[in-house]
Amino acid sequence: MNKVYDSVIGAIGNTPLVKLDRLTRMHGVDGTIIAKLDYLNPGFSKKDRAALEIIEEAEAQGILSTGQTVVELTSGNMGTGLAIVCAIKGYQFVAVMSKGNSEERVRMMRALGAEVVLVDQLHGSLPGQVSGGDLERVNEEAVRITTERGAFRADQFFRDGNWRAHYNHTGLEFWEQTGGCLDAFVDFLGSGGTYAGVTKSLKERNSEIRCFVVEPVGAAAVAGQDITQPEHPIQGGGYVIPNLAFLDGLPIDGYLQVSGGEAKRIARELARFEGIFAGFSSGANVAAALQLLQSDLRGKTVAVMICDSGLKYLSTDLWS
């Protein structure tokens, strides 16, 4: 904290941990939820970490050249992180995003110098509810632009820099900031990079720490459940992808589901009672942690990510 950084990317990571004791008391649960405030990163989300690691890994491997364009599909957070990193490092960045995501994210990326290409949702899809089919349509456009421009594809679902950012930093921060005194970690799945990196990091230090994946009710593909509601309002994840690359061979100690309504309610409670202004997926993470503290993890300590800022959802019904 006493250092002057050469650029804003030096301020990525090392975010605070806070206890959510007001929420646990309000819900009458026995135990502790500790929340990592990654909405305090420069781009207001945890994706700043992965964006920086992916770009620096590509530079080290020689697969990203000076002056080359960077392209990536995004729900907005990875795009914001990449826009920041590319602005500092001198790369042109093209974000490809579904029109179903919030307008605030588009405006922020453009303000940071990104070119934003918006892709129509599938027929019948609802704004604010981006399905796996919508994401596939975005991916097709990202592939086309990457080929057309001879660009570097950041490819957050497959580049190891994504999970390594959380293995090298986020997981270590959880461990050091708690002195190793935690019993579980829960994570709402998008690309799976956060879950993979934090889980590997924590379990190397204590294999007894239990790690749980979180998905939307009706869209729990990784849990192997029937898909009855692929559309949901929890932006940034829950894309109904059963075989996420980063989860291959990785231990999963349990599967939790949270409804869109529950994620909204807890996100609003985070703001009202804890002063933490966060988005849908943060609400889902805390809702899942509350579930655990009412099960066999009663009295234990559960770690969660506060993934992004509520400022990115002012145009949605999260704050209506």
Nearest to 36 by CA among 299, 289, 315, 294: 289
Report CA Rg, the chain.
18
- 47 in active site: yes
Q: How crowded is residue 25: how many other Cβ atoms within 10 Å of its Cβ?
A: 10
Nearest to 152 by CA among 47, 72, 37: 72
- Which residue of the set 36, 45, 46, 47 is catalytic? 47
Cβ 186 vs Cβ 104: under 8 Å: no
- Which residue of the set 281, 282, 309, 312 is catalytic? 281
Listed in sequence order, the residues at least 6 apart from 209 whose beta carbon sits closer than 8 Å to its beta carbon are 182, 183, 184, 185, 202, 203
- 203 in active site: no
> Which residues, in sequence order, are bridge partners of residue 255?
213
CA distances (Å), 94 to each of 101, 135, 264, in order? 16, 16, 30
CA distances (Å), 72 to each of 98, 107, 217, in order? 12, 17, 28
Burial class (CB in 10 A: 0-12, 13-18, 19+), 205: middle
CA distances (Å), 6 to each of 9, 50, 89, in order? 8, 19, 12
228-231, Cβ contacts within 8 angstroms, sequence gap of 24 or more = 230/131, 230/132, 230/133, 231/125, 231/126, 231/129, 231/131
Residues labelled catalytic:
47, 281
